[in-house]
Structure 1
Amino acid sequence: MVEPYASTAQLAQSGIVYERLFSEAECERIRSALLTARDWAPAHVVNASDTGEEAIELMPEVRLAEVSEFAGVRKVMNRFCRRIEQKLVPGLVAEFGKSDIEPQEFCAIRYTQGGRYLPHRDNGGSLDHRAFSVVCYLNEDFVGGGTCFPDMGFQIEPRTGMAIAFPSEYLHAALPVEAGCKQVLVSWIRGGPAIAWI
């Protein structure tokens, strides 16, 4: 079942920070720049075995997308980092009372028709340094592809230039793209001591 879109009140109650990072014109320029990135590759999953050992694997039945770490277009990454620091970090500090946080991991992701990422958490194991996850939507001219939070019973409707930031331990999913191509920028923010999650 596809969950309904979140209301502003639901976002505030859930601790999800929702802000505009880029204008539509800026998003168009970013999408054009990303076309020239030289490192687009199938997205991997960090998979833990029963023994606790981790492996980085291609698992298209779980995650079907392409990822770039901005090879040849580092200026996009730098601009994304600055906007997170200016527009999202203050909200996270206010919401969670942490001042020692900074964005340190970045990538661009594109989901074509059928692209998805099943419910998962962005931290744990070797990824425990991740305190918050950031997703910035670069377009909205596709069908499907919402960001779903199953435990909260709602999804985020992608809107061009808007970004969400949330604790990396929140269970979430990229719902399947039914038509078109969804493009996002993603970052993980490192934190200090453990946060009292709501």
Structure 2
Amino acid sequence: MTQTVTPELRQWIIEQSTAGCMPEAVLEAMVKAGWQPDVAEAALEQTLRDHLQKLGAGRAAAPAPVQAPAQAPAQATALEMATVRVPDIALSGSPRRLDAGDRMVDVIISVTQPRVVVLGGLLSHEECDGLIEASRPRLARSLTVQTATGGEELNPDRTSNGMFFNRGESELVKRIEARIARLVNWPVENGEGIQVLNYKVGAEYKPHYDYFDPAEPGTPTILKRGGQRVGTVVMYLNEPPRGGGTTFPDIGLEVAPVRGNAVFFSYNRPHPGTLTLHGGAPVLEGEKWVATKWMRERVFE
């Protein structure tokens, strides 16, 4: 049975959220009322996203707001928590190409929910080669963040070698970081350093989320450096003959690793409902080189 999301339902979602109901409670009420979970989840996410955009447009056109009285509650409303501002690419009017400042970038695929955009020609071939060569002497077995302690650990789900550039450590890195910041409308200083990864035949990164699990005891320590991760850009530096794509299991999407191309995705809360589960499929022939840029809520130090 097909369920249609009506204007009345959207209005009800906004009313519940602005009244202080948590998103999880709104979703639960919809499911109990007979809505299919996937339809309810998509309706909630899209409605809140659209509402936030309208609020943002209204703020831009309105005069500066009067300061709230001292007794106003400091805690954010459920709507604000559910629709935290995240990196995004301006795609109104369905542009085929985007101005990245120093080069034009193609829009190959655009998905609304979750927000996934495949970009063509984000990097030149010379820039791809430059990142690979600069990273080679510094490669080591890739680690993952250990959310139980806030440290790092070897993870059998991630069988690659990698390294991190410091933010702005070279002209090449600065140029790429500025380009990404312009495209996704997010400050350079809110980004982690670019990470380069090398996958040999059989190497992979099993499906995972990039945000830090709030339930893990080490997460508060991790978040001190800039808050949650809210966006990711994966850039392909070469083309393995077979395998090595970036998979999004929740939406049935696999992005092929094409040299110079990239995939961007964002997530407005640390929850599986963002549908941003993704992984690096095993390399079946040759090797794969990628560069990853993660964006944080605040300045990353």
TM-score normalised by the chain length of structure 2: 0.50
CA separation of 1:83 and 1:17: change in aligned 2, threshold 3 A: farther
Q: Is the counterpart of residue 28 in structure 1 residue 129 in structure 2?
A: yes
Instruction: Give the distance between the partners of 1:162 and 1:10, measured in 2 at CA.
Output: 14
CA separation of 1:172 and 1:146: change in aligned 2, threshold 3 A: same
What's the CA shift for 1:137?
A: 0.5
Q: Is the counterpart of residue 80 in structure 1 residue 173 in structure 2?
A: yes
The answer to whether the 8 A contact 1:66-1:110 is kept is yes
| Secondary structure in 2 matching 1:123 | coil
* Structure with the largest fraction of strand: 1
What's the CA shift for 1:85?
A: 2.5
The answer to whether the 8 A contact 1:28-1:138 is kept is yes
What is the aligned partner in structure 2 of residue 122 from structure 1? 210
What is the aligned partner in structure 1 of residue 235 from structure 2? 136
Q: Which 5+ residue runs of structure 2 have no aligned equivalent?
A: 1-106, 213-218, 271-275
Name the amino acid aligned to 2:194: F
Q: Is the counterpart of residue 63 in structure 1 residue 158 in structure 2?
A: yes
Name the amino acid aligned to 1:79: L
CA separation of 1:110 and 1:85: change in aligned 2, threshold 3 A: same
Instruction: Give the distance between the partners of 1:25 and 1:100, measured in 2 at CA.
Output: 22
Aligned residues: 172
What is the aligned partner in structure 2 of residue 191 from structure 1? 297
Instruction: Give the distance between the partners of 1:12 and 1:90, measured in 2 at CA.
Output: 20
CA distances 1:14-44 after superposition (whole Å, capped 9, x unpaired): 4223332222233233323333x2x311112
CA separation of 1:139 and 1:99: change in aligned 2, threshold 3 A: closer
The answer to whether the 8 A contact 1:142-1:182 is kept is no
CA separation of 1:179 and 1:133: change in aligned 2, threshold 3 A: same
**Match 1:89 to one of 181, 186, 189:** 181
Instruction: Give the distance between the partners of 2:150 and 2:133, measured in 1 at CA.
Output: 35
Q: Which 5+ residue runs of structure 1 have no aligned equivalent?
A: 1-6, 193-198
What is the aligned partner in structure 2 of residue 179 from structure 1? 285
| Secondary structure in 2 matching 1:105 | coil
What's the CA shift for 1:58?
A: 1.4
| Secondary structure in 2 matching 1:85 | helix
Instruction: Give the distance between the partners of 1:159 and 1:149, measured in 2 at CA.
Output: 17
The answer to whether the 8 A contact 1:145-1:176 is kept is yes
| Secondary structure in 1 matching 2:233 | strand
What's the CA shift for 1:65?
A: 0.3
Name the amino acid aligned to 1:187: K
Instruction: Give the distance between the partners of 2:160 and 2:131, measured in 1 at CA.
Output: 18
The answer to whether the 8 A contact 2:177-2:188 is kept is no
| Secondary structure in 2 matching 1:148 | strand
Q: Is the counterpart of residue 18 in structure 1 residue 118 in structure 2?
A: yes
Identity %: 29
- RMSD over aligned CA atoms reads 2.9
CA separation of 1:91 and 1:13: change in aligned 2, threshold 3 A: farther
CA distances 1:137-184 after superposition (whole Å, capped 9, x unpaired): 000133100000111111111110112221255211001011111001
Instruction: Give the distance between the partners of 1:21 and 1:85, measured in 2 at CA.
Output: 12
What's the CA shift for 1:109?
A: 0.5
| Secondary structure in 1 matching 2:128 | helix
What is the aligned partner in structure 1 of residue 48 from structure 2? none
What's the CA shift for 1:54?
A: 4.9
The answer to whether the 8 A contact 1:41-1:67 is kept is yes
What's the CA shift for 1:102?
A: 3.3
What is the aligned partner in structure 2 of residue 43 from structure 1? 142
TM-score normalised by the chain length of structure 1: 0.72
**Match 2:253 to one of 151, 154, 174:** 154
